[in-house]
Amino acid sequence: MKETSWWEQLRQGNKEALSHIYHEHIGLLINYGRKFTKNDQLVEDAVHDLFVDLWQKHQNLGQTDSVARYLLGSLRRRIIRQDQKVKKHLQQDLDPDLYNFHVSLDVEKLMVLAEGEEMRSQQLKNAINGLSKRQKEAIYLRFQSEMDYEQVGEIMNISYQSARNLIHNAIKVLRKTMTLIILLISSSIFKIFF
């Protein structure tokens, strides 16, 4: 059965459909939630609450062409809202771009690197860590989660064009950083042999 068929079954009150959607997406949701916070309990609670709300509000759910995109966007908003509540409680202002988004990308999916070049791989990880939090999140969604720009935009609550620009600028920074690193490495090797 297609993912959207399970969603329609959930909308009609089928508990088996909720269970199926949960089991199909739990790993993805937990993994994505951990990118925002190291607090595993907060992530697990947010995912649990998301599914409780899905069941309680199943009659009011709209149609979707991507269950994963719907769940990821909902989880993202839920975690950021929870973070805002905590920071508001601590009487700190929260800039929408200041939320944490921890990334541990599968570097091979991001760029094709020659095997065994651990130094370049580490440099790429360092370059990724130099990106803004929103750029890291967009890169993660686009290349690690293999989503298109429209899906990235919907999850991050930005327009399609903003998602493209965000990812384009991140890739530009990564290319510039990696080109500089390659030039430095080449220069060092040249000096050693010549």
| pLDDT tens, position by position, 95-135 | 555 556 666 555 555 444 444 456 666 777 888 888 999 99
CA distance 138 to 186: 31
Q: Which long-range contacts (CB under 8 A, 24 or more apart) does 68-72 make?
A: 68/3, 68/25, 68/28, 69/147, 69/151, 69/154, 69/155, 70/7, 71/21, 71/25, 71/28, 71/29, 72/28, 72/29, 72/32, 72/141, 72/145, 72/155
Residue 3, classed as helix, strand or coil, is helix
Least confident of 109-118, 131-140, 157-166, 168-177: 109-118
What pLDDT score does 127 carry? 83
Q: Which residues of the chain does CATH 1.10.10.10 include?
A: 107-193
**How far is residue 30 from each of residues 33, 154, 158, measured CA to CA in Å?**
5, 19, 22
Q: What is the DSSP string of 141-166?
A: IIIIS---HHHHHHHHT--HHHHHHH
> For the structural domain made of 3-89, what CATH number should be given?
1.10.1740
Domain topology for 107-193: Arc Repressor Mutant, subunit A (1.10.10)
pTM over 0.85: no
Say if residue 137's pLDDT is above 70. Answer: yes
- Pinpoint the residues of the chain covered by CATH 1.10.1740: 3-89
Distance (Å, whole) CA 73 – CA 142? 14
What pLDDT does 185 receive? 57
93 or 160: which leads in pLDDT: 160
